[in-house]
């Protein structure tokens, strides 16, 4: 393999040489003998911060597993950049990955802290399902959906452990391929202007349901949608009552295409079929997670982590600040361009709409899901009038 050396965070990694594996003049990770995507450095940087914050609260040496390791970018970085990691177990089905992971571990002086196996991920995880062998953190970073690896991950996690999952199958989750979403996640997606949030909620809900089968409550610590993927971290706590408690945040998202009204229904509740505002038929998505997608106190702890040594530091700050602002806001968001197009108006500024909604007494914040997205407690009739008002100079409380 033609290789080159990159630095991510504080870690040196030998990776496939980008100029040797190209398609239409650009690096194509799938063409390389071992998978490495430089664009995921952002995700790996956040993961190092998340693991450090989680480990800090756990207060004891931790064992992590990266069973779909590629060049070992995640597992090697965890061992190198998170001091309390005492062991990082990495695996990959691709035989060519193994010498590269070992050499990356050696390159960073981590020989005593790692184990590398050429093994199918579910087999590796299942071998660690016995008490005493389990992990504090498992990172599932596959091609496409993480769902085939979630059962064995839950069984291989210690009580109180953390599970991180990536989903790159955003098309099914966002409702482009409904049947694939139903097959992989047992959930109906919704293709509309806030489909990225719905997709992330379906992913989170599916992990919660899988964990509940083993009497684990799964609680999302941090979830986000960026670029071509969704990523979510969960703390898993053992106890049937905790699994029941997590299930209370499962339900359905309801959406009206006519007036843009959205609502949620609890899992066991009968489903409303017509819109509260205009009486049109509602579309539904779910079952999915209807609670907060991240945990407020975990976000505060994560904000204390020093990301400044990482290349993606500025982008991480922006993302975490938007996610913090979204806490406690209802599911779904309004896309300003979409609302104004419906009104045949040009879009007013995001800042202006947020300020006006708050002045009227509603909660309002931007959302990391969309640069023109607004999360608010205001009903769609108010959002419409605010947009109209800012474009025409008319204020809702003038009348």
Ligand X SMILES: C[S@@+](CC[C@H](N)C(=O)[O-])C[C@H]1O[C@@H](n2cnc3c(N)ncnc32)[C@H](O)[C@@H]1O
| Contact residues: Zn ion, CB under 5 A | 256, 258-259, 261, 275, 277-278, 280
Phi-psi region of 256 (alpha: psi -120 to 50; beta: other; left: phi over 0): beta
| Of the candidate residues 50, 52, 63, 74, the single one contacting ligand X (CB under 6 A) | 74
N-term to C-term CA, the chain:
71
Q: How far is the CB of 348 from ligand X (least distance, A)?
A: 40
Interface mask toward ligand X for 18-37; x: CB under 6 A: -----------------xx-
Interface mask toward ligand X for 94-113; x: CB under 6 A: x--x----------------
For the four alpha carbons of 224, 227, 6 and 318, in that order, the dihedral sign comes to negative
C-alpha span between 16 and 36 (Å, rounded):
7
Could you tell which of Zn ion, ligand X, none binds residue 261, using a CB distance below 5 to 8 A set by kind? Answer: Zn ion
Size of the site for ligand X (CB under 6 A): 21
Q: Are 290 and 249 spatial neighbours (Cβ–Cβ below 8 Å)? A: yes
Closest CA to 203 of 222, 213, 192, 215: 222
Interface mask toward ligand X for 137-176; x: CB under 6 A: ----xxx---------------------------------
Could you tell which of Zn ion, ligand X, none binds residue 275, using a CB distance below 5 to 8 A set by kind? Answer: Zn ion
Cβ-based nearer residue to Zn ion, 278 or 314: 278
Q: How far is the CB of 6 from ligand X (least distance, A)?
A: 11
User: Stretches 93-101, 153-161, 225-233, 305-313: which one binds ligand X (CB under 6 A)?
Assistant: 93-101
C-alpha span between 52 and 289 (Å, rounded):
26
Residues with Cβ within 8 Å of residue 46, at least 6 apart in sequence: 222, 231, 312, 316, 319
Cβ-based nearer residue to ligand X, 140 or 254: 140
Q: Strand 11-16 and strand 3-8: pairing? A: antiparallel
Cβ-based nearer residue to ligand X, 2 or 296: 2
C-alpha span between 65 and 115 (Å, rounded):
9
Cβ-based nearer residue to ligand X, 47 or 290: 47
Q: Are 189 and 175 spatial neighbours (Cβ–Cβ below 8 Å)? A: yes
Cβ-based nearer residue to ligand X, 32 or 253: 32
User: Stretches 67-75, 194-202, 217-225, 236-244: which one binds ligand X (CB under 6 A)?
Assistant: 67-75
C-alpha span between 236 and 242 (Å, rounded):
9
Cβ-based nearer residue to ligand X, 143 or 394: 143
Cβ-based nearer residue to Zn ion, 20 or 273: 273
Torsion angle, alpha carbons of 102, 105, 108, 109, to 10? -90
Q: Are 110 and 134 spatial neighbours (Cβ–Cβ below 8 Å)? A: no
Q: How far is the CB of 210 from ligand X (least distance, A)?
A: 17
Could you tell which of ligand X, Zn ion, none binds residue 278, using a CB distance below 5 to 8 A set by kind? Answer: Zn ion
Q: Quick check: 381 binds ligand X (CB under 6 A)?
A: no
Cβ-based nearer residue to ligand X, 139 or 193: 139
Cβ-based nearer residue to ligand X, 121 or 290: 121
Q: Quick check: 70 binds ligand X (CB under 6 A)?
A: yes
Q: How far is the CB of 41 from ligand X (least distance, A)?
A: 9
Ranges of H-type helices in the chain:
41-58, 73-81, 97-107, 121-127, 150-155, 170-173, 178-185, 195-213, 240-247, 296-303, 313-326, 336-342, 350-359, 380-392
Q: How far is the CB of 146 from ligand X (least distance, A)?
A: 10
Q: How far is the CB of 278 from Zn ion (least distance, A)?
A: 3
The structure tokens 């089968």 sit at: 213
Could you tell which of Zn ion, ligand X, none binds residue 258, using a CB distance below 5 to 8 A set by kind? Answer: Zn ion
Could you tell which of ligand X, Zn ion, none binds residue 93, using a CB distance below 5 to 8 A set by kind? Answer: ligand X
Q: Which two tokens stand for residue 104?
A: 């990356």
Cβ-based nearer residue to Zn ion, 267 or 338: 338
Instruction: List, in sequence order, every residue forming a beta bridge with 237; answer none if it has no partner.
Output: 217
Q: What is the DSSP string of 281-303?
A: BPEEEEEEE-S-SS-HHHHHHHH
Please give the residue ranges that form the binding site for ligand X (CB under 6 A): 35-36, 40, 44, 67-71, 73-74, 91-94, 97, 120-121, 141-143
């Amino acid at each position: 393999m033609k290789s080159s050396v990159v630095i991510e965070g504080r870690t040196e990694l030998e990776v496939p040489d980008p100029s040797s594996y190209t398609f239409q003049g650009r690096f194509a990770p799938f063409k390389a003998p071992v998978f490495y995507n430089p664009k995921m450095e952002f995700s790996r940087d956040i993961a190092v911060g998340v693991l450090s914050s989680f480990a800090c609260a756990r207060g004891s040496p931790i064992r992590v597993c990266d069973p779909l390791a590629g060049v070992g970018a995640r597992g090697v970085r965890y061992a190198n950049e998170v001091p309390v990691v005492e062991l990082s177990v990495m695996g990959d089905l691709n035989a060519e990955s193994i010498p590269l992971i070992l050499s990356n571990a050696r390159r960073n002086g981590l020989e005593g802290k790692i184990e590398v196996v050429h093994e199918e991920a579910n087999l590796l995880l299942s071998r660690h399902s016995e008490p005493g062998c389990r992990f504090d953190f498992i990172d599932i970073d596959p091609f496409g959906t993480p769902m085939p690896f979630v059962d064995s991950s839950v069984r291989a996690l210690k009580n109180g452990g953390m599970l991180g999952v990536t989903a790159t199958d955003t098309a099914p989750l966002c409702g482009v391929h409904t049947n694939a979403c139903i097959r992989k996640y047992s959930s109906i997606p919704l293709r509309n202007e806030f489909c990225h949030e719905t997709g992330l909620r379906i992913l989170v809900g599916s992990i919660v349901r899988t964990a509940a089968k083993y009497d684990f409550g799964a609680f999302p610590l941090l979830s986000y949608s960026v670029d071509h993927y969704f990523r979510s971290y969960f703390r898993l706590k053992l106890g049937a009552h905790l699994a029941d408690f997590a299930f209370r945040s499962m339900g359905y998202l309801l959406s009206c295409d006519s007036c843009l009204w959205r609502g949620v229904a609890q899992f066991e509740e009968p489903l409303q079929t017509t819109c509260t505002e205009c009486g049109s038929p509602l579309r539904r998505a779910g079952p999915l997670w209807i609670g907060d997608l991240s945990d407020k106190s975990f976000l505060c702890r994560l904000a204390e982590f020093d990301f400044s040594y990482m290349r993606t530091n500025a982008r991480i700050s922006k993302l975490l600040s938007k996610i913090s602002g979204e806490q406690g806001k209802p599911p779904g968001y309004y896309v300003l361009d979409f609302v104004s197009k419906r009104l045949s108006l040009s879009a007013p500024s995001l800042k202006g709409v947020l300020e006006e909604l708050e002045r009227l007494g509603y909660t309002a914040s931007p959302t990391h899901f969309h640069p023109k997205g607004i999360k608010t407690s205001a009903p769609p009739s108010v959002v419409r009038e605010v947009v109209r008002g800012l474009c025409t100079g008319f204020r809702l409380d003038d009348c």
